Amino acid sequence: MTDLPTGLGTQLRHLIELLDDGVSAANDYPGMNYRPRYTPIVRALADGQALTIGQLADAAGITQPAATQTVAVMVKDDLVDVTAGPLDARQRVVSLSARGRALLPQLQRAWQATERAAAGLDAESGLSTAVAAALGALGREPFAERIADALKTITPHSKRKKS
């Protein structure tokens, strides 16, 4: 048996890696130029409505810089089109490309299977309950504040005297 990683951040990154690798391996993504990280963006655009980067970030539940970076890669993979905003040319409006729309039925089938598998994992592990509890706790007291409070309880190392 492989040793499991220690440390909360390391464990969470490893969990995401295992989930993303599993999604990629199980779905027929080869040749599609599709990555699991595109899913929140594609889902937000699936109804056919074009969204600004800010609207897309909100709808996908990601940060605006993450949306900007993901959209840039998706443009290269010909999954989305980006145009200037109608009122402000600096604003970027994103919509699914013809290729992105053509992939929707296959992607929706893959998402459905992924959701069923995730529900099974959650039933076995209670993962979503634990994640929801952690997000709630961080909403009440952000992690940076928790670290600052913990630092107050740690005494600095005394300087060693040179002999």
What would the pLDDT profile of 126-144 be if each residue is shown by its tens digit? 999 999 999 999 999 999 9
Query: What is the residue type of 149?
Result: D
Segment 108-124 shows an average pLDDT of 93
pLDDT band at 41 (very low <50, low <70, confident <90, very high): very high
SS3 content of the chain, % helix, strand, coil (to 5): 65, 5, 30
Q: Check whether 159 has a pLDDT greater than 60.
A: no
Residue 79, token pair as written in the block: 């999954």
Would you state the pLDDT for residue 26? 79
What are the Cα distances from residue 16, in Å, to 9, 10, 19, 95? 11, 10, 5, 27
- The pLDDT assigned to 88 comes to 80
The tokens describing 45, both together, are: 């655009």
Domain ranges of the chain: 8-152
Note the pLDDT tens digit of each residue in 43-93.
999 999 999 999 999 999 999 999 999 999 999 999 999 998 888 888 899
Distance of alpha carbon 59 from alpha carbon 41, whole angstroms? 8
Residue 1 scores a pLDDT above 80? no
Q: Does domain 8-152 have CATH number 1.10.10.10?
A: yes
* Predicted pLDDT at 37: 87
Which range has the worst mean pLDDT, 11-25, 53-67, 117-131?
11-25
DSSP 116: H
Answer yes or no: pTM beyond 0.75: no
Q: Is the pLDDT of residue 158 over 60?
A: no
